[in-house]
Amino acid sequence: MILIVNTTTDTSITAEIRELNKDVEIIEAGAMKISNCIGCNYCWLKTPGVCSIHDDYEQILKKIIVADQLWVISDTALGFIDHKGKNIFDRIMPVVTMNLKFKGKQMRHIMRYDKRTDVGIIYTGDADREYLERWNSRAALNFDSNSLGVFPVSEIKEAVSCMY
Ligand X SMILES: Cc1cc2nc3c(=O)[nH]c(=O)nc-3n(C[C@H](O)[C@H](O)[C@H](O)COP(=O)(O)O)c2cc1C
**Residue 135 or residue 151: which is nearer to ligand X going by CB?**
135
Q: What is the 3-state secondary structure (H, E, C) of 108-156?
A: EEEECCCCCCEEEEEECCCCCHHHHHHHHHHHHHHCCCCEEEEEEHHHH
Question: Using the rule CB under 8 A, which residue among 22, 33, 54, 101 binds another protein?
Answer: 101
**Residue 18 or residue 129: which is nearer to another protein going by CB?**
129
Residues 6 or more apart whose Cβ sits within 8 Å of residue 47 = none
Whether 3 contacts 25, CB under 8 Å: yes
Question: Using the rule CB under 8 A, which residue among 112, 123, 150, 159 binds another protein?
Answer: 112
Residues making contact with another protein (CB under 8 A): 36-42, 44-50, 62, 65-66, 77-80, 82-84, 86-87, 89-90, 92, 97-102, 105-107, 110, 112-115, 128, 131, 134-135, 138-139, 142
